[in-house]
Chains A and B, each alone.
Chain A
Amino acid sequence: MTTDFNGTMLDSKIPEGPIQDKWTRRKFDVKLVNPANRRKYDLIVVGTGLAGAGAAAALGELGYNVKAFTYNDSSRRAHSIAAQGGINAAKNYPNDNDSVFRLFYDTVKGGDYRSREANVYRLAEVSNSIIDQTVAQGAPYAREYGGLLDNRSFGGAQVSRTFYARGQTGQQLLLTAYQALARQVGLGNVELFTRTEMLELVTKDDRAVGIVTRDLVTGEIESHSAHAVVLATGGYSNVYFLSTNAMNCNGTAAWRAYRKGAFFANPSFTQIHPTCIPASDEHQSKLTLMSESLRNDGRIWVPKTAGDSRPPNEIPEEDRDYYLERQYPAFGNLVPRDVASRAAMRMIDQDRGIGPMKNGVYLDFADAINRLGRQTIEDRYGNLFEMYERITDENPYEVPMRIYPAPHYTMGGLWVDYNLETTVPGLFASGEANFSDHGANRLGASALMQGVADGYFVLPATISGYLANWLNVAPVPTDDEVFTNAVQAVKDRTEKFLSIDGTHSVDYFHRRLGKIMIEECGMSRDREGLEKALKQIPALREEFWSDLKVLGDEESMNQSLERAGRVADFLELAELMVRDALDREESCGGHFRLEHQTEDGEARRDDENFAFVSAWQWMGEDAPPIRNTEPLEFEYVALTQRSYK
């Protein structure tokens, strides 16, 4: 073990009582702030994706003074916008036996029993309100001819519970949140700061009191003070350099909070999404996702024989291996993402990968087109097919798509209790930035669900419990030394980046870090590789700090400087991910340790020793972090080996 010590046990503040009553109970027992007093509170929300824009809008509607921050040029750009396939809810409109309990059960099982039951139940419970709310706000979901809402299926479920707006569900949901936020900005309840990046969390007496930001246009470093801070800053898949995340997605806000005392939970739990377009060459800047919804109608296959390099249309039916349908007859092509990704990897390892770099598998629509007609497929997936053709120059109506697993989502994130509060009082984390709902693997169409749930419904309800303690207490003034010190630290760091004057660009280091991470801490991990990475990363970090070359200055727009800060933090976060992966001597969900697998290559959990959340605590520059634990108890979903057969 790399860590032979355990820190404190964490209190997740789950309400007492049966699981279906917990959320109602919390909403009742939480302290309230009366409507007339809410305007006395200043709140900061960092990030304007679904979880951030939603929270800022909801808090603004309640009457708090909100400041919302985004590094994008507008609050309509965050990467929630790229979610394609849909959002789950337990409406049971298709009459196929769905229920809140089933959505809860599927999500706990899909997460390979490493999530917190009470949180997941709440997520399933509010899922229906999300659909109601977003429809009322004008999200143009797909409809049946009778005018009612349509559903489709997603991985890890045997019911149709996914609501969608063509292949642009994330866009339409983010725009409803953006518009709700715009309304509050127009009304003066929310002040919006665009092109402004949070570079430090400010704490006083161990509680969060504000943030330090950089204006990305003028370079100005500014302090913002508040009664509470909400981080809705997304995930850290870009630690791999190549991922499906947007170019600017980064882990800096969460990492800065970690260094100020917020515990980081399950950092090694990352999701590799099975259906991405394979990389074509060395210079690629990012990977593009093809929605999981395609697995409703597409069939995944590889040639039966290793090294078969015939074009797909010349490979006859009997020489094809529809390996998911063969290995997992009950769920077929709709197994959860971790299972599908690993199965693809096994095929590629057996030299049965396809495409010019032998790094993909086929996703074939020929059967669906024969059965349903081209028009139906075009209606369902037209925009995805077009996107595929633009990128690859191949027509997926005629030639099967080539797909490949790629880093997509991080289940790990800041540790939060049931109220979404981190271990720093007054600091909350919402959406992908927290760790709470997806365990070791997230099911498809659940990220939008969690983003909206946290932002619209959970956080606005729980935050008053903290705020009520600070009634009539003014926020810490920004000339307090906690702020001036934090500003100085940010300025020093910025100047340091510009003064190294080495030989290589930020991307050069980022690409190298990504290579280490995907090889040693990607879809499969083992002790030897992780220990190697634990040596390589600090060495690379040292090189970064002595050989980085950032041109330009700090007093104007400087995109290299922005990236330098983000990559500097990734170089630290990567090490924590590796440490956590090494520490967790079991396989679960997206965390697959080669040493711990069943005979047929499935993840083998160790519930006796590892049914817990690891929550890492920063101990300073020169000391290793401490791993604290939150034990996970499963009262409602029996712990079994996941089977999709």
Chain B
Amino acid sequence: MNLTLRVWRQSGPGSEGSFKTYEAKDVSPDASFFEMLDELNERLNDQGIEPIAFDSDCREGICGTCGVMVDGNPHGPQSGTATCQLHMRKFNDGDTITVEPWRALAFPVLKDLVVDRTPFDKIIQAGGYISVNIGAAQDANAIPVPKPAAESAMDAAACIGCAACVAACPNSAANLFTAAKLAHMNLLPQGQPERYLRTTAMVETMESFFGSCRNYGECETACPKSISIDVIAWMNRDYVAAQWKNLRKHGQQA
């Protein structure tokens, strides 16, 4: 198949960017989106044009390194799929495809399609963990976890930290990302002692970088792991509960 690509090119963090148009010829429908870009890059290199920079690592949809806007959709048209797992058979011969980096003030463009997502790490550093020093753990089966709780925690823990949720949100809110990590930890018995401190620290760090959630639900649609916005409701409940000073102080259930 033959395609026309409109790709965002920007040489560095401070510089002006613009769309450039390229032709992608003889693309195999079995190629992945990035294999199509790899091939285009190969051709650009041969022509003396600097290849398009984009982030991509595992190409199995699990590391969360990749992600571009494809025709205005984070990760492209296929739901529940990271860009690296999107295949060209989802497009038609002759299509024009617009490729852009994630759009969000908190994620400045570093080059072409590459953005800086460091604020996500800051949110985790603020409290996205269970404070157990290595070597201090008891026998694993000493902590029974009800199967439904373990399953729900796993649903939330499946987040790959790609930031499609932020890119999809009209307000560039990071609530789905933050709430997914909170749901993972706050649903588990191991996560209870720090539940309210964690919620407060992570929510407040999130708010220092990102916009506010208005329940549009775009994040859930864009999420390559189909994480439910239910987790945002749980986060809000825990955040309100955490404001009751004594609860926060003593790590008690609301």
Question: A81 vs B62: C-alpha distance in the bound complex, in angstroms?
Answer: 7
Residue A390 interfacial (CB < 8 Å): yes
Contact of A183 with B62 in the complex, beta carbons under 8 Å? no
Out of A138, A194, A387, name the residue touching B130 (CB < 8 Å): A138
Q: Determine, out of A252-260, A276-284, A314-322, A568-576, the stretch whose residues face the partner at the interface.
A: A276-284
CA distance A131 to B160 in the complex (A): 22
Q: Is the CB of B158 within 8 A of A168?
A: yes
Question: Which stretch of B168-176, B184-192, B207-215, B235-243 is in the interface?
Answer: B184-192
Nearest-CB residue, chain B, relative to A174 = B63
Encoded as 1 (CB less than 8 Å from any B CB) or 0, chain A from 556 to 579 comes to: 110110000000000000000000
A416 contacts chain B at the CB level, 8 A cutoff: no
Known: A137-B137, A183-B131. 18 other contacts (CB 8 A): A61-B133, A76-B124, A76-B161, A82-B62, A132-B139, A135-B140, A136-B130, A136-B138, A143-B147, A147-B150, A180-B129, A182-B121, A183-B125, A192-B121, A247-B58, A283-B35, A457-B134, A503-B46
A387 touches B145 (CB 8 A): no
Size of the chain B interface, CB-CB below 8 angstroms = 80
Given contacts A168-B158, A182-B124, A460-B134, is CB(A72)–CB(B185) below 8 Å? no
CB-nearest residue of chain B to A552: B50
Q: Are A74 and B137 in contact (CB under 8 A)?
A: no
Residue of A nearest to B131 (CB): A183
| Among A77, A147, A166, A194, contact of B146 (Cβ-Cβ < 8 Å) | A147
Q: Is the CB of B57 within 8 A of A194?
A: no
A556 to B110, CA, bound (A): 9
Any B CB within 8 A of the CB of A597: no
Query: How far is it, in angstroms, between the C-alpha of A129 and the C-alpha of B136 when the chains are bound?
Result: 10
Taking a contact as CB atoms under 8 Å apart, the answer to whether B144 and A556 are in contact is: no
Could you say which of A133, A280, A288 contacts B30, with CB atoms under 8 Å apart? Answer: A280
Instruction: Evaluate contact between B158 and A77: CB separation under 8 angstroms.
Output: no
Pick the 10 closest A-B CB pairs, nearest first. A147-B144, A136-B137, A179-B129, A186-B125, A135-B140, A132-B137, A140-B154, A246-B57, A557-B111, A143-B150
**A57→B134 contact, CB < 8 A:** yes
Tell yes or no: A145 within 8 A of B by CB: yes
Q: Which A residue sits closest to B117, measured CB to CB?
A: A73
**CB-CB < 8 A to B57: which residues of A?**
72, 77, 79, 246-248
Chain A contacts for B128, CB-based, 8 A? 179, 182
Residues of chain B within 8 A (CB-CB) of A170 are 62
Give the nearest-CB partner of B136 in chain A: A136
Interface membership of B31, Cβ < 8 A: yes
Q: Given the complex of chains A and B, what is the CA–CA distance between A285 and B138 in angstroms?
A: 44
* CB pair B59 A285 closer than 8 Å: yes
Alpha-carbon distance between A286 and B32 when the two chains are bound, in angstroms = 10
Q: Is B51 an interface residue (CB 8 A)?
A: yes
Q: Which residues of B contact A146 (CB under 8 A)?
A: 144
Q: Contact between A74 and B161 (Cβ–Cβ < 8 Å)?
A: yes
- Determine how close the nearest CB of chain B comes to the CB of A237; give it in whole angstroms: 13
Within 8 A of B (CB), among A514-547: none
- Given A246-B57, A285-B38, A285-B59, decide whether A393 and B85 contact each other with a Cβ distance below 8 A: no
A505 CB within 8 Å of chain B: yes
Contact A182:B129 (CB < 8 A) given known A57-B134, A129-B137? yes
Using Cβ atoms and an 8 Å threshold, which residues of chain B touch A142?
150
Q: Which interface residue of B45, B58, B89 has the most chain A CB atoms within 10 A?
A: B58
Complex Cα–Cα for A292 and B85 (A): 21
Given the complex of chains A and B, what is the CA–CA distance between A552 and B44 in angstroms?
Answer: 12
Would B154 and A165 count as touching, CB distance under 8 A?
yes
User: Which chain B residues lie closer than 8 Å to A168 at the CB level?
Assistant: 62, 154, 158
Which residues from 450 to 483 on chain A have a C-beta closer than 8 Å to any C-beta of chain B?
456-457, 460
Beyond A140-B188, A551-B49, whether A285 also contacts B32 by CB under 8 A is yes
B38, A507: Cβ atoms closer than 8 Å: yes
Give Cα A178–Cα B64 distance, bound, in whole angstroms: 14
Query: Residues 373-394 of chain A: 1 if any B CB is under 8 Å from the residue's CB, otherwise 0?
Result: 0000000000000110011010
Min CB gap B152→A, angstroms: 9
Q: Assess the A79–B58 pair: CB atoms within 8 A.
A: yes
A43 shortest CB reach to chain B, Å: 15
Within 8 A of B (CB), among A93-140: 93, 129, 131-133, 135-138, 140
| Residues from chain B with Cβ under 8 Å of A456 in the complex | 134
